[in-house]
Amino acid sequence: MARNKKTFLTKTKRMTNKRKTIAARDKGAIFSKTSGLCHFCGTELIFNAKRGEQGRWNVDHILPFSREGKDCLENYLPICKVCNRLRWNFESGKIRELLRYGIIAHKLVAKKTRVGKEIRDIYNKKIESNKKRRKGDYSESYYR
């Protein structure tokens, strides 16, 4: 119970702390940290890409804002919009675990095992659900 109360108080405190707006000059410094590549997947980013355009990017918190990460240049890296949506608040250890599960699942799907077919069906249903739920102009490559 004490842990839940602490978690609630931390979340409540964080909800009152808004993220700061990042100045244009700081965005340039963040962008150049990775030479204009997504720090997660390596996709080439376009500095001034507009909403819906290829190469659009976000500023990612290395230590997530929701986990007490600071709004400062040292805690920022550029990330493509696809990776930003997939990453959520996962820490690096959890992302590695998810990738390992994904590799196992990918092999099962490729071998067309019974479990692989079930995974493919669940995956396709999730993608369709996301398409219906999301607003905006997302290309088909966003979902694959």
Domain ranges of the chain: 1-87, 90-144
What does pTM read for this prediction? 0.67
Q: Residue 119 contacts by C-beta under 8 Å, 6 or more apart in sequence? A: 105, 108, 109
Characterize the bridge pairing of strands 57-61 and 76-80: antiparallel
- 9 pLDDT more than 70: no
Res 85: pLDDT: 86
State the average pLDDT over residues 22-39.
96
Helix (H) or strand (E) holding 108: helix 92-110
Res 58: pLDDT: 95
Tokens describing residue 25: 């000059």
pLDDT band (50, 70, 90) for residue 97: very high
Res 20: pLDDT: 83
Instruction: Please state, rounded to an integer, the average pLDDT across all residues of the chain.
Output: 86
DSSP state string for 26-50: HHHHHHHTTTTB-TTT--B--TTPP
Task: Return the CATH fold of 1-87.
Answer: His-Me finger endonuclease fold (3.40.1800)
Instruction: Name beta bridge partners: 61.
Output: 76
- CA pair distance 72, 12, nearest whole angstrom: 21
Res 2: pLDDT: 55
